[in-house]
Amino acid sequence: MIDFHSHIIPNIDDGSQSIEDTICMLEEAKKVGFTDIISTSHYIEDYYEVDEKKRKEYIDNIQKEVEGINIIIGSEIYVTHNIVNLINEKKASTINNTRYVLFELPMNSNVLYLKNVIFSLLENKFIPIIAHPERYSFIQKNPNWLIEYIEMGVLFQANFGSIYGIYGKECQKTVQLLLKNNMIHFLGSDVHRKNSIYPKMPDILRKIEKVISKEKVYKLTTINLKLVLNNKKIEVDKPQKIKMGFWNKLK
């Protein structure tokens, strides 16, 4: 497996708080079957602004301390009009220096300029990936929101912990619906601390396999991620509209 989303570099965002914690998290990841981890430290303008060169240095130093697991550069960029400039100026990073860009939205409000951001990325030959849609309150209210964006060329990454209930019941129900209806393209840990997500992975995978097939799980944890790392196009299954009556019953 490849972990698409992690906060393992110490002391540059709200993730790992020490090199010792980082090494512990990497050992936990390796123990449950991860071979690669994409480091997606937050890049938030005027708040978390460690540039790509410095993050590469951190990754190179961490890599020397751990064998058997590969660390790959990326960023989780907080949505901004300036996203293309941040990438071109080597402040924020794409995933493994490919066309794929991971970014996040506010948890509890719509972004009125979101389509402008997406059009800007697409016009510049980037492929937008929105992190953990199941956690956003407006998507919990209307999960079909994703369909229009998938049709535009946006991809979506869900968190492993969502199906485990780590972020609450609404998030748990939402991620099940998104998985069932072909609206998730990657899974990631979004790990911030040791002894959090990775030790729970066997149980988490069993829960996910009750929602989608093992083959689909493999696609979302390995096949699609390898394609991204090699800057290749992924095959996107057609999203299925969720019947709102069914959704309301779940609530």
List, for residues 24-59, the tens digit of each pLDDT value. Answer: 999 999 999 999 999 999 999 999 999 999 999 999
pLDDT in tens, 204-224: 999 999 999 999 999 999 999
- pLDDT at residue 145 greater than cutoff 90: yes
- pLDDT at residue 232 greater than cutoff 90: yes
Per-residue pLDDT at 245: 66
Give the residue-averaged pLDDT of 168-193: 97
Give the residue-averaged pLDDT of 232-250: 80
pLDDT in tens, 52-103: 999 999 999 999 999 999 999 999 999 999 999 999 999 999 999 999 999 9
Name the residue with tokens 């997606």: 40
pLDDT in tens, 103-123: 999 999 889 999 999 999 999
Per-residue pLDDT at 243: 87
Q: Would you say 102 and 76 are in contact if contact means Cβ atoms under 8 Å apart? A: yes
- pLDDT at residue 250 greater than cutoff 50: no
Name the residue with tokens 């293309």: 84
Distance in angstroms (rounded) separating the CA atoms of residues 166 and 176 = 14
From residue 18, give the alpha-carbon distance in Å to each of 48, 179, 193, 204, 216.
Answer: 17, 34, 10, 26, 35
Q: Would you say 225 and 55 are in contact if contact means Cβ atoms under 8 Å apart? A: no
For residue 28 the two structure tokens come to 């936990």
Q: Would you say 37 and 3 are in contact if contact means Cβ atoms under 8 Å apart? A: yes
- Determine how many CB atoms are found less than 10 A away from the CB of residue 99: 16
Per-residue pLDDT at 244: 72
Distance in angstroms (rounded) separating the CA atoms of residues 15 and 42 = 9
